[in-house]
Amino acid sequence: MAFDCIVIGSGNAGCCAAFSAAESGCDKVLVVDVCPQQWAGGNGYFTAGAFRTVHEGLHDLLPIANNVSAEQVGSIDMDRYTREDFLRDIMRLGDGKPDPVLAGAVVDASRDTISWLATNVGLPFMFSYHRQAYAVGGRQKFWGGMVLCTEDGGKGLIAAHQRALAKAKVDMWFNCPAVEITMENGAVSGVVVEKDGARMHLRSAAVVLAAGGFEANSVLRAKHLGAGWERAIVSDGFVLAAALGARQTGDWAGCHSTCWDADAPKDGGQRDLTNQFTKSGYPLGIMVNSSGKRFVDEGEDFRNYTYAKFGRAILMQPEGQAFQIFDAKVIASLRQEEYGDGIVKKICADRIEDLAEKLAEIGLKSKQEFVETVNQFNEAVGRYQAEKPAAWNPAIKDGMSTADLPLSKTNWALTIDKAPFMAVKVACGVTFTFGGLAIDPETAGVISEKTSKVIPGLFCTGEMVGGLFHGNYPGAAGRAAAALMHQV
Ligand SMILES: Cc1cc2nc3c(=O)[nH]c(=O)nc-3n(C[C@H](O)[C@H](O)[C@H](O)COP(=O)(O)OP(=O)(O)OC[C@H]3O[C@@H](n4cnc5c(N)ncnc54)[C@H](O)[C@@H]3O)c2cc1C
């Protein structure tokens, strides 16, 4: 059986690549995925469907956002997010280590890709009000550079991709792992898959690796991420690529790991709650470990610039767990999708001492230390406010800090003193890995370790691409890596 293009993986990246191939004139395009059909869409299904892109502000994105009424337009504040902003974010969060050419290619392609996804693929984009904006003084103020998401989050994203691929007559085979990529005369010649219990050689001169990161592979996780990561809650596409001598690059010891509900399933996701296990409200409160101590600057930057590294920070705490603490002043500002009733186990009390008692039942080791931490934090906020009175504003970096604490909270520091108090228990969730394959940014062709040239016919996209992020990343830029395949 022969195809013009075979894509390995049905995630966002694979779907983009397959649609793009069909649109570019390939008659017979096939997507294979090891998962059953009801699990189509890879990690993308479990996300908020957030997309980071360069943009010129409200007027630029208004035509593609489907959730803005005429009355709302006048009350939205949305700064432009330039090529320089996006590139600077990738490079500064990656400590200068990401490949600047690759990052530049992703950034440059980002805005056109959004238009292509909206118009050609049919993704239903909307403004991410609840996640990326706060209502302040009657205005919706967006922050953190990222403003777009898909309607119904990852579920809506994958459903739209599936509709587009069906319309483009792309074949999709599920329960169908790719087990080998074949070569003839120095070029890719096809893929061996397992289908209905038998091995089958499918011929194709173009194969796209879109099999995601290695977060679900406990062996690779332990090997590359190191000790402790077996406690993290979470493809074997790299094995296929290694057999062809593909070059690996990037931060194999790093990954995007976020604050995750400690009570979430330990292996794999839950199709109904998906991204709702994320617990990203910490800029509005504090986080303490089981010794009752703070361990990160919760106000270091906007959430979408810190959440990718705070999961790791939690994992490094005793038992790999922590508690997020909020008081009545901010509880209403927490996202309902993450902190609503029935979404997460909330521990509530009217006194901090009583909250300590309750937390002790679920892992807090030192009640006294916890109470002292909260008291010292409140006193530091008081001192700062007495010296430099400022208005608390979560939509900007308001500078309200606990400057004289050894570990300061540098923005959004409010006292935790108004009952009721609320805590949730969090752990570390690996969302995606940074190490991957070296590619030519212009063609997405995979580079051979031996020749340093592209392996003819082999392409790579999405999370399998290495070199783009290092240590940390600007939230919702993961999906931008899929843009490369659409541009080539
Ligand atoms: C909870 C969560 C929230 C996130 N939120 C966002 C967000 O809002 N914005 C953002 O940009 N990024 C987000 N990310 C990261 C983003 O989801 C990933 O970067 C992106 O989905 C990767 O897409 P992909 O198509 O490359 O890989 P995946 O989505 O991992 O898809 C890979 C597919 O390949 C299949 N596969 C693997 N091996 C084989 C094989 N041998 N044969 C056949 N099939 C195979 C897998 O079954 C899978 O379906 C989030 C991740 C998580 C987990």
Ligand 1 atom nearest to CA at 461: 26
Q: How far is the CA of 395 from the centre of ligand 1 (A)?
A: 30
Taken as a whole, the chain contains a residue count of 488
- How far apart CA 436 and CA 355 sit, in angstroms, is 44
Q: How far is the CA of 479 from the centre of ligand 1 (A)?
A: 9
Q: How far is the CA of 366 from the centre of ligand 1 (A)?
A: 39
> In the structure encoding, which two tokens stand for residue 317, read together?
């705490």
CA distances from 25 to 28, 112, 119, 203 (A): 9, 20, 18, 18
Task: Compute how many other C-beta atoms are within 10 angstroms of the C-beta atom of residue 96.
Answer: 9
**Which of 16, 39, 47 most suits a substitution to test ligand 1, by most atoms within 8 Å of the C-beta?**
47
CA distances from 239 to 246, 307, 364, 452 (A): 10, 29, 41, 19
**Which of 8, 33, 43, 149 most suits a substitution to test ligand 1, by most atoms within 8 Å of the C-beta?**
43
Ligand 1 atom nearest to CA at 48: 8
Question: Which residue, judged by its Cα, is nearest atom 9 of ligand 1?
Answer: 476
Ligand 1 atom nearest to CA at 464: 26
Q: What is the pLDDT of residue 136?
A: 83
Burial per residue of 392-414, b for 16 or more beta-carbon CB atoms within 10 angstroms, e otherwise: ebbbeebebbbbebeebbbbbbb
Q: How far is the CA of 47 from the centre of ligand 1 (A)?
A: 9
Ligand 1 atom nearest to CA at 32: 43
**Contact yes or no for 436/248 (Cβ under 8 A):** yes
Which domains can be identified in the chain, with CATH numbers? Answer: 5-213+434-487 (3.50.50.60), 257-429 (3.90.700.10)
Q: Name which of 82, 75, 129, 128 is nearest 107 in CA terms.
A: 82
Cβ neighbors of 147 (< 8 A, separation 6 or more) are 55, 61, 78, 81, 127, 128, 132, 133
- How far apart CA 139 and CA 159 sit, in angstroms, is 32
Question: Which residue, judged by its Cα, is nearest atom 10 of ligand 1?
Answer: 476
Ligand 1 atom nearest to CA at 463: 26
**Which of 149, 191, 235 most suits a substitution to test ligand 1, by most atoms within 8 Å of the C-beta?**
235
Ligand 1 binding pocket (C-beta < 6 A) is: 8-14, 32-35, 42-44, 46-50, 177-178, 210-212, 235-237, 275, 431-432, 462-464, 476, 478-479
**How high is the mean pLDDT in each 10-residue block of the chain (488 residues)?**
97 96 96 93 87 96 94 94 96 93 94 96 94 87 94 95 98 96 97 96 97 73 62 66 94 80 71 72 97 97 89 90 97 91 94 98 97 98 91 92 94 97 92 88 95 97 92 73 59
- How far apart CA 115 and CA 162 sit, in angstroms, is 18
Ligand 1 atom nearest to CA at 153: 8
Q: How far is the CA of 389 from the centre of ligand 1 (A)?
A: 45
Ligand 1 atom nearest to CA at 149: 8
Q: Peptide bond preceding 420: is omega within 30 degrees of 0, i.e. cis?
A: yes
Ligand 1 atom nearest to CA at 277: 1
The residues with which 254 forms a beta bridge, in sequence order, are none
Q: How far is the CA of 393 from the centre of ligand 1 (A)?
A: 34
Q: How far is the CA of 463 from the centre of ligand 1 (A)?
A: 7
Q: How far is CA 8 from the centre of its chain?
A: 21
Ligand 1 atom nearest to CA at 9: 34
Question: Roughly what angle, to the nearest 10 degrees, separates helices 303-315 and 83-93?
Answer: 10
Q: How far is the CA of 204 from the centre of ligand 1 (A)?
A: 24
